[in-house]
Every structure is written in C-alpha cells, then in structure tokens.
C-alpha cells in the first residue's frame, strides 16, 4: 500500500490499480491477518516495514502500542531517508509520525517527544 500522509480520507491506497484488480488496501485486512501481523511486527528489521505494519494495525484496531511503535519506526525510517537525500519521503514519514502522535489523545505530542 502507498502512504498518503496528507490525506485524511484515504491514508493508505493501493500501490497499483489495474483493469483486472488492485494491490492491497486497508479494508482488505481481516482480523486473522491483523493478528498475524501483530505477531511479526516486532521482528521486522526495516523501520519502514515495521512502521507500515504497526500503522495498519493502529488504523484497524486502535491499539495504542502499535501507534507508538509506528511513530518511532516512521521517525527511524525518516532518519534513514535523510542520508539518501530523499527529503520528500522523509517529510512524509515525519508528518505521519506527528499525525499519529496527535491521534493518541491524552498521550498527544508531549508523549511524542518521549518516543524520540
């Protein structure tokens, strides 16, 4: 799925849409899929993959621990992108991290500072 950090309506969209079908969308994940993803998310070594999995679980299940993991992982991914001079993708990850932190309600942006 493609991250659309600046969209509130469709945060994740299919990476590809063809005349015969499309790649995964957020609504495709069943409870069984989400359970399996939750079991493997901590094992993901790439921060981008870990962030995306945790974010999908947050969006579908509202698991605060997954949102916190996604914030940390998006920031780690952004730091990795900084060294590649891909500032637009870096900014998109930081924007999503801030949006997630603000969605955490009472935890909010004060908690985001502790996550860094």
C-alpha count within 13 angstroms, C-beta hemisphere, residue 49: 9
Do 66 and 57 form a contact (C-beta atoms < 8 A)?
yes
Packing angle, helices 31-40 and 47-61, rounded to 10 = 140
pTM attached to this predicted model: 0.83
What are the φ/ψ torsions at residue 84 (nearest 5 degrees)? Answer: -100, 5
For the chain, which residues make up each domain, given as ranges?
2-14+26-115
Using CA atoms, how far apart are residues 17 and 24, in angstroms rounded to an integer?
10
Using CA atoms, how far apart are residues 18 and 34, in angstroms rounded to an integer?
25
The predicted pLDDT at position 107 comes to 52
Using CA atoms, how far apart are residues 4 and 92, in angstroms rounded to an integer?
8
Quick one: 61 exposed, middle or buried, by C-beta within 10 A (0-12, 13-18, 19+)?
Answer: middle
Predicted confidence (pLDDT) per residue in 8-61, tens digit: 778 888 999 999 999 998 899 999 999 999 999 999 999 999 999 999 999 999
Q: What is the percent of the chain where pLDDT is above 70?
A: 90
């Amino acid at each position: 799925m493609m991250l659309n950090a600046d969209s509130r309506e469709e945060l994740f969209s299919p990476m590809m849409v063809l005349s015969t079908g499309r790649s995964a969308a957020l609504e495709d994940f069943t409870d069984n899929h989400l359970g399996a993803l939750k079991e493997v998310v901590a094992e993901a070594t790439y921060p981008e993959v870990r962030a995306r999995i945790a974010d999908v679980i947050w969006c579908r299940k509202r698991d605060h621990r997954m949102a916190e993991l996604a914030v940390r992982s998006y920031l780690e991914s952004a730091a990795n992108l900084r060294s590649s001079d891909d500032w637009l993708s870096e900014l998109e990850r930081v924007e999503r991290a801030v949006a997630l932190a603000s969605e955490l309600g009472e935890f909010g942006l004060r908690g985001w500072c502790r996550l860094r």
